[in-house]
A and B are shown apart, each in its own frame.
Chain A
Amino acid sequence: MTAGEPVLEVRDLHVTFGDVRAVRGVSYAVRPGEVLGIVGESGSGKSVTSAAVMGLLPPSATVTGSVRLRGQELIGAPEKRLTALRGKTISMVFQDPLSALTPVYRVGDQIAEAVRIHQKVTKEQAMVRAVELLDLVGIPNPGQRALGFPHEFSGGMRQRAVIAMAIANDPDVIICDEPTTALDVTIQAQVLEVLKTAQRETGAAIVMITHDLGVVAGFADRVLVMYAGRPVEVGAVDDIYYRMRMPYTVGLLGSIPRVDRGGRQPLVPIEGAPPSPAALPPGCPFEPRCPMAVEECSVAEPALLEVGPGHEAACIRWADVGVRPPGRHAAQAAAAVRGGRGAQEVVLRVDGLVKQYPLMKGSLFKRRVGTVHAVAGISFDIRQGETLGLVGESGCGKTTTLMEILELVKPQDGRIVVLGQDTARLAAGDRMAIRRDMQVVFQDPLASLDPRMTVHDILAEPLRTHRRGDTGSRVRELLRLVGLDESHAARYPQDFSGGQRQRIGIARALALEPKLVVLDEPVSALDVSIQAGVINLLDALKSRLGLSYLFVAHDLAVVRYIADRVAVMYLGRIAEIGQVDTVYDGPMHPYTQALLSAIPLPDPERERTRRRILLDGDLPSPADPPSGCRFRTRCPKFRTLAANERSRCVESEPEVRALAQDHGVACHYAEKLEVVQNHEESHP
C-alpha cells in the first residue's frame, strides 16, 4: 500500500432514487498510486457509487454523505467546480466502449477536446497530444488512427481511446467501471496491461469496479466487496481472497468456475438471488442466502467490524467464517463418462462444415464484393452422454456453427449428421422428428421467453406441437426437474430472476426428452453466484437423463466445468480439440495457450507470478483471413520461428492432426506448454 494522504475519500455515501435506496453508506479512501477494487454482483450499487462520486447521476437521485477529492468536498459543490475537476483531477473509463464515444466525431478530436477543455493549448498542440496519448495506450499507427471515426475502431481499440481520454490531463484518480466486461478475454488482458501503463504514467489512484473477482486479483491492492448497496467486506487483496471473514465473499469465491481447477468438482452456488433494493430484508441483507445464518442475523444489520489490521467485515459470525461452507444446493459430483469414447453412439457429427456470407454492395444493382468466411471447414463429433464445449472469442464462428446445425438443412459444404441422419437428405417429416430430439437453450433467458405466455404455456407448447398427451403432469415434472416450484407455472417470465428464467428455458428444452441439447452461452448473462447453480443443474440433468450437450461459450472456465471435450475455434477454424483436462493442462496450439493464459484467476498470489502471453492486435476480418495459418498474424510462436520455418505457416493452412489420444491441434509447430498451473498441485 502506498503511504500518503488519500486523494479520494468517500464517507458514508447514500444514494436514493425515490424510495429505492441504491447505495446505503459506502466509505472508502484511496491513496495516490493505489488500486482499489470494488466487487459486487449486478444491483449491488457499485456503479451507482462511482457515478455519484463523479456527479453523473440524473437529477432524480438524492445523494448524501461526503466525497472529498484532494480535500475538496464534491457533494453539493456547484456544477461549475465539478466541471473543472471532471476529466482533470478525476476521470472515468466506462463499461461499453462501443457506445462511449460520440459516433460523429473523429477519435483524435474527441481526445483533443478533453485536452482543450482543461489546458490552454492550441488546436494543433491538443491534436499532437492526442496522438501521443493514442501511442501511449498502444494504438498502432496513432497519427493516422486519430483521424478515424469510432466505428472504424474495434471494441478493444475504442476502450484504449477512452483510456487515452481519461488520462489526457494527468488525473489523480481514475474510476474504471467494468472496463473489460464487454471485451474478449485476450483483449481484456491487453486493456488491463494498458491500464497498468496508464497508472504508471500518471501515478493516479485507480478505483476498479468489476463483478469479476479474477480481474481485481492481480490488479488491486485493496478490495471492497459490496452487497445490497453496502460494503460487506473491505481489506487488502490477500485478506479478501485467503482470509475472508464474510460468508458472502466466501460464497462468491466458491461459485466462480476456475480455469485452473481440473476434475469434476461441483461449484458451490449461493442460494437464492440478491435482494431487490426496493425490498430489503430486515437485519443482514445476506441472511436469507447465508448458509451460516443464525436467528440473531435477522434482527439488525451488522456494521462493518474490524476483523484484522486494515480488514473489516460486516458479519456477526465473522470469527467462524473461513472455511468454505458447503451450499445446500451443491450438486453431487457426477460420475464422469470419460475414456472409452468409441463405445458410445455418435449423436452429432460435423464434417468439414463451411458457411460463407456474401458481402454485397449497391442499392439498386447489388453485386458481390467479397465473402465472409464465417466457418471455414470444421469437423467434430459428440457421442451419447458427452458434452463438447465450443469456445472462442467473438467473431470466431461458434454461433454460426450452432445455427447451421439447428437449421437442419444441407450446409454449403461439408456434412452434418444429427442422430444418425444426414441433414442433406432429410424430408420434412424427419426434420420434425429430429427437432424433437434436438433442443436449444439460448443466451438471454428473458428475450427467449414470450413475455405474454405463462410458464405453463411456455412448457406446454412443445408438448402440444408434438402431440404429447397429459401436458399438466409433465409441466409439473419439468418444473421440479429444474428446481422450480410447481406453483410457479401460473406466473409470467418477468416475475422471475435471471437464474430462474434460464431454468425455465432449460425446462422448455427438456420438455420433449431430447437426446441432444444445444446451449448457446447459457450462463453468460447471469451473475456468478447464480451462474454456478445453473451450471450444476445442467451437469446433474446430463447424468440423470443421459443427455449430450453442445455447449457454446466464450468463457473457458465455465467450459472446463461442464464439458468433457473442448474445441477451440479461431476465425472459423478449429485450432485445438480434445479432452478437457488434456487441453487445459497442456495446450499445444499457441492460440489456446494465449487464451488460457489471458484468463485472470481469482487468486492474487498466482496472478502476480503468472506469465501472461499477450496477443497483438485484434482478430483479422473474416472477410479477408490471412493466408496459410489464420493465426499467424498474431501468433507468438510464429515470431520466434526462423524465416524458412515461417514459410510453412504462410503457405499452407494446418489441418487438425491428432498429437495424442483424443487431442488434435491445427499447428505446424505445436508443442506442449503449461500456462495454467493446476490448482490442486500447488495448493494440496
Chain B
Amino acid sequence: MAGFLARRLLNYLVLVAVASSLAYMLAAGALDPRSNYADRTPKPPPAVVDAQLTALNLNDKTPLIQRYATWAAGVLHGDFGRTVTGTSVNEDLARRAGVTFRLVLLGLICGSLVGVLVGAYAAVKQYGLFDRLSTGMSFLVLAIPVVVLATMLILVGTWLNENVFGAKVFLVSGEYSDGLDTGFWGGVLDRLQHLILPTVSLSLGLIATFSRYQRNMMLDVLGADFIRTAVAKGLSRRRALTRHALRTALIPVVTYFAFTFGTLLTGATFTEKIFGWHGLGEQLINSIFTNDVNTVAAIAFLAAIAVLAASLAADMLHAALDPRVRTA
C-alpha cells in the first residue's frame, strides 16, 4: 500500500509540474501586462515601461521560454514572483488561500455530511414523503444559480435579523468586522457570524448533489444480498442499514468528495464575491482583468495541487473503506 501511494504521489508531482507550466504559458501568452501602462496619464516612456516589465518578469519582448525559465526557477524556490503592482504574490495569496480554505472546507464538510445523510435516509424511505421532498428540493437548488441563491440568503438573513432576532446575528459582508474590540472570543464569534451564510450557500448546492448521489448508491446496496444476510443473522434493520449498507455505499461517494474539494477551491468565486470575502476565486478574476500573469499562474498552481492532493486523499480513503482496493 505504501509503495502504491508513493508511486501515485510521484505521478501527481509530474502532473502538477505539467499542469502549472501549461497554465503559465497560457497566461503569459494570452495576457498583455503592457496594456496596463497605455491608459496612464502621463504616458510613461517606452523604456521605463520595458524596464518595469522586465523587473516583474512580464516583458513580452523577452522570449516566452526565458520568462518561463525565470518563473519556474522562482517557483522551485517557493517564490511565485510579483504582481503587476510589484507586491509579492506569495504574501497576497497566502492570506487569500487561508480565507478560501476556511470557507470551502467548512462548506464541503457540512454539505457532504448532510448530503450523505439526507440521501441515505431518502433511499431507506424510498418514495416516502421525505424522499419526495428532498428530491424536489435538490432539483430546485440545482436549478437556481449560485448568484440568486446567495442573494436570497442575504435577503432572508437580513429579514431574520430585523424581524426575528432584532439584532445582527447573520453578518452578510466580509469575513470579519473591522475595528472590533471585544477580545479573543468576541473575535471568534464575529467571524462565525460572518461565516454562517456563505457556508450555507456553498453547502446547499453540495447537499443537493451529494444527496442525489448517495441516494442512488444506497438504493443499489439496499437490494444487495448481504443486507438480507445481515438481517437474517439477527441484526435489526437499523443496524444492518448503518453498519452494512451505509458503509458500503459510502465508497463511491468518497471519490466524489475529494474531487469536489479540488474544484471548489476556485469554484467558490461567486460566493466569495457576493459575500465580500477576499479569496482565491475573486483574485483569479481580478488578476485576469489586470493582466497579472504571475498571480494567474500561481492560482492555477494552487488549484492543481488541491485537485491532486484531493485525489490522493480519495485514494487513501478509498483504500481505508474498501479492502478490495487494498490488495490490488
Q: In the complex where A104-B322, A151-B323 touch, is A99 in contact with B232 (Cβ < 8 A)?
A: no
Q: Within 8 Å CB of A362, what residues of B? A: 7
Q: Cβ of B233 and Cβ of A86 under 8 Å apart? A: yes
B317 at interface by CB-CB < 8 Å = no
Asked if B235 is at the interface (CB within 8 A of a chain A CB), the reply is yes
| Residue in chain A with minimal CB distance to B8 | A363
Chain A binder among B39-47, B86-94, B221-229: B221-229
Choose among A87, A105, A152 the residue that contacts B233 (Cβ–Cβ < 8 A).
A87
Q: Which residues of B contact A85 (CB under 8 A)?
A: 234
A67-90 contacts to B, CB under 8 A, are 79-80, 83-88
Chain A residues, CB < 8 A from B168: none
Instruction: Enumerate chain B residues within 8 angstroms of A80, measured Cβ to Cβ.
Output: 236
Contact of A103 among B231, B233, B236, B323 (CB under 8 A): B323
Identify whether the interface residues of B are mostly helix, strand, loop, or mixed. Answer: helix
With the chains together, A82 CA to B321 CA distance in Å?
Answer: 31
Given A100-B225, A103-B324, A104-B248, A56-B232 contact (CB < 8 Å): yes
Give the residues from 1 to 17 in chain B that come closer than 8 angstroms, CB to CB, to chain A.
7, 11
- Cβ contacts under 8 Å, A344 to chain B: none
Interface flag for B247 (CB, 8 Å): yes
Is A121 an interface residue when CB atoms closer than 8 A count as contact? no
User: B132 within 8 Å of A by Cβ?
Assistant: no
Q: Is B230 an interface residue (CB 8 A)?
A: yes
Q: Any chain B CB within 8 A of the CB of A153?
A: no
A101 CA to B229 CA, complexed, in Å? 7
Tally of A interface residues using CB under 8 Å = 37
Residues from chain A with a CB closer than 8 A to the CB of B237 are 79, 83
The contact string, 1 if C-beta is below 8 Å from chain B, for chain A 33-55, is 00000000000000000000010
Distance of A446 from chain B, by nearest CB (Å): 20
B231 touches A104 (CB 8 A): no
Known: A96-B225, A151-B324. A102 touches B234 (CB 8 A): no
CA distance A84 to B229 in the complex (A): 15
Determine the residue in chain B with the shortest Cβ distance to A165: B233
Are B247 and A104 in contact, with the CB atoms below 8 A?
yes
B232 pairs with A103, CB closer than 8 A:
no
Contact string, A94-114, partner B, CB cutoff 8 A, digits 1/0? Answer: 101001111111100000011
For B7-31 the 0/1 string (1 means CB < 8 A from A) is 1000100000000000000000000
* Complex: chain A residue closest to B234, CB-CB: A87
Q: Chain A residues near B323 (CB, 8 Å)?
A: 103-104, 106, 149, 151
| B273 on the A face (CB < 8 A) | no
Q: Does A92 contact B (CB under 8 A)?
A: yes
B234 with A83: CB separation less than 8 A: yes
Contacting pair B226 A83 (CB below 8 A): no
CB contact under 8 A between A102 and B321, given known A79-B236, A94-B225, A117-B235: no
Contact A101 B226 (CB under 8 A): yes
Q: What chain B residues lie within 8 Å of A149 (beta carbons)?
A: 323-324
B11 touches A168 (CB 8 A): no
Determine whether B244 belongs to the interface, using a CB cutoff of 8 Å to chain A: yes
**Cβ–Cβ < 8 Å partners of B248 in chain A:** 102-104
Of the residues B233, B244, B321, contact of A114 by C-beta under 8 Å = B233
Q: Which residues of A contact B324 (CB under 8 A)?
A: 103, 149, 151
Complex CA gap A370/B212 in Å reads 41
Task: For residue A644, give the distance in angstroms from its CB to the closest CB of chain B.
Answer: 40
Q: Which residues of B contact A104 (CB under 8 A)?
A: 247-248, 251, 321-323
Q: In the complex, what distance in Å separates the CA atom of A363 from the CA atom of B234?
A: 42
* Residues of B in contact, count (CB < 8 Å): 24
Beyond A79-B236, A114-B234, whether A100 also contacts B229 by CB under 8 A is yes
Given A113-B235, A117-B234, A117-B235: A103 touches B229 (CB 8 Å cut-off): no
- B295 nearest CB across to chain A (Å): 32
The answer to whether B229 touches A94 (Cβ under 8 A) is yes
**Most chain B CB neighbours (cut-off 10 Å) among A100, A101, A118:** A100
**What per-residue 1/0 map shows which CB atoms of B142-167 lie under 8 Å from chain A?**
00000000000000000000000000
Closest chain-A Cβ to B102's Cβ sits at a distance in Å of 33
Chain B residues, Cβ within 8 Å of A106: 323
**Cα–Cα distance between A88 and B247 once the two chains are bound (Å):** 25
Cα of A363 to Cα of B328 in the assembled complex, Å: 11
Measured between C-beta atoms, what is the minimum distance from B19 to chain A in Å?
16
B235 contact set on A, CB distance < 8 A: 83, 87, 113, 117
Docked Cα-Cα span, A91 to B234, in Å, equals 9
**A83-B236, A84-B234, A113-B235 are contacts. A165–B229 as well, Cβ < 8 Å?**
yes
Given known pairs A149-B323, A364-B11, the reply for A103 and B226 (CB within 8 Å) is yes
User: In the complex, are the beta carbons of A99 and B231 less than 8 A apart?
Assistant: no
A122-177 interface with B by 8 A CB criterion: 149, 151-152, 162, 165-166, 168-169
Closest chain A CB from B227 CB (angstroms): 8
Give the interface centre of B226, B232, B236, B322 by most chain A CB atoms within 10 Å. Answer: B232
Q: Which B291-328 residues sit within 8 Å CB-CB of chain A?
A: 321-324, 327
* A100 pairs with B226, CB closer than 8 A: yes
Q: Give the distance to chain B from A386, nearest Cβ to Cβ, in Å.
A: 42
Contact A117 B233 (CB under 8 A): yes
Interchain CA distance A169-B233 in the complex, whole Å:
9
Given A102-B244, A364-B7, 18 more pairs with CB closer than 8 A = A54-B232, A56-B228, A83-B234, A83-B235, A83-B237, A84-B234, A87-B235, A92-B229, A96-B225, A100-B225, A102-B248, A103-B323, A117-B234, A118-B234, A152-B327, A162-B229, A169-B234, A364-B11
Query: What are 13 A-to-B residue pairs whose CB atoms are below 8 Å?
Result: A79-B236, A86-B232, A87-B233, A87-B234, A96-B225, A100-B228, A104-B247, A114-B234, A149-B323, A149-B324, A151-B323, A362-B7, A364-B11
Return the 8 tightest CB-CB contacts between A and B, nearest first: A87-B234, A87-B233, A99-B225, A114-B233, A149-B323, A102-B226, A92-B232, A117-B234
